Amino acid sequence: MDALLALEDGKVFRGRSFGAPGERTGEIVFNTSMTGYQEILTDPSYKGQIVAMTYPLIGNCGVNSEDIESSTPKVEGFVVKEVSKITSNWRALQGLAEYLREHTILGMEGVDTRTLTMHIRTCGAMKAVLSTECLDEATLVKKAQDAPGLIGRDLVKEVTCQTSYQWGEQRGEANVGRWDDSSPAKKKVVYKVVALDCGIKTNILRMLARSGCEITVVPAHIRAEEIFALNPDGLIVSNGPGDPEGIPYVVKTVRQLIGKFPIFGICLGHQILGLALGGKTYKLKFGHRGANQPVKDLTTEKVSITSQNHGFCLDGSSLNKDEIEFTHSNLNDHTLEGMRHKRYPIFSVQYHPEASPGPHDANYLFDEFIRLMEQGKIQSHPHTA
């Protein structure tokens, strides 16, 4: 079946469908990862986006039940140069094309993704339409131009949980395969953590559980007093899709919790914390999406290879440097990748420490969160020290 990808600036790419039929709009972006397409497909941060993979052959490992980051794929569409006709991996349960069709996700192959990527790098990420239903170029370009953009749009409400829940084996989508929370590597529960779900990735929850955390996942629309009533030792503000300035209710909630207990922000959570602390954000030209982003820790001068997925960035110049210390910087474009508060036990990073391109470069950040919670316990109960 023929498929057409039309960009709002008039650029059009033709190819073949390998997923579900239909038509979807979204921001067209590219990801430079060579592997990990299953994690990319199911990362809630990609809601509202059509993802093009720069690596030319995708799908040879098929799809399994272990490497998902949420219960279903969240991308609007998936564009590749060539989808593998062979599925060859001992964990695979089905092929990539079958998986996309099952979840009604549009897939398109036969596209020169090098040309597409260079176009996005030159002109910036933009609105697009992917369709198997309409192959008229002018019609689809007009649809792309009329589609809603990401600036100011609330996509978090489309991926957050609707009610609070305890992370554990009773939640079917939470624990799968050999990565479940019954793993021998899991430590005895010591810390109570609230995870503010703005589109949280499963592996964040797995890593917290292995560090000895009992986790309550709460929806993004929860009020600050409801979180405080849970009496947590710490708060995770998660990753998620879209523009952080489009979710002022989350920023307000986090602002009200500053100074109450340790807070760790990841990706969108980093931006939310920045806004809560009085900063501003801006949209990047084409964003950072891939598993090969070099980030320098400014406190140790160590460089980590990180996994990233964001189209917005925190403006460091808008933050009060008497209160905020910058801790990490992207070596490709020198954008702000991490910060911590000088008085409160608060820190955040723009990249994904739960991903493993390094493969263990960023694990220390979870250890730092545990350390801050332990300090909080000691200060609250000094007789136990």
Catalytic residues: 267, 352, 354
Strand partners, 194: 216, 235
Residues 145, 306: Cα–Cα separation, whole Å: 33
- Angle at which helix 268-276 crosses helix 248-257, to 10 degrees, equals 70
The position carrying tokens 């309409």 is 134
Residue where the block lists tokens 């980590």: 304
- The sign of the dihedral angle between the CA atoms of 222, 225, 230, 236 is positive
Tell me which amino acid residue 312 is: F
Coil/strand/helix, residue 247: coil
Burial of residue 311 (number of CB atoms within 10 Å: 0-12, 13-18, 19+): buried
Separation CA 268–CA 242 (nearest Å) = 8
Only one residue has tokens 């100074």, namely 259
Contacts of 294 (CB under 8 A, 6+ apart): 303, 304, 305, 306, 330, 331, 332
Decide if 49 contacts 36 (C-beta within 8 A): no
What one-character-per-residue DSSP string does 61-117 give? T-B-SSS-SSSS---SEEE-SEE-S----TT--B-HHHHHHHTT-EEEES--HHHHH
**CB distance 54 to 114 below 8 Å:** yes
Q: Say which residues have a Cβ less than 8 Å from residue 269's Cβ, sequence separation at least 6.
A: 196, 198, 236, 237, 238, 239, 240, 348
In Å, how far from its chain's centre is CA 373? 24
Using alpha carbons only, what angle is made at residue 68 by residues 314 and 174, rounded to the nearest 5 degrees?
95
What value, to the nearest 5°, has the Cα angle with vertex 258 and ends 255 and 262? 135
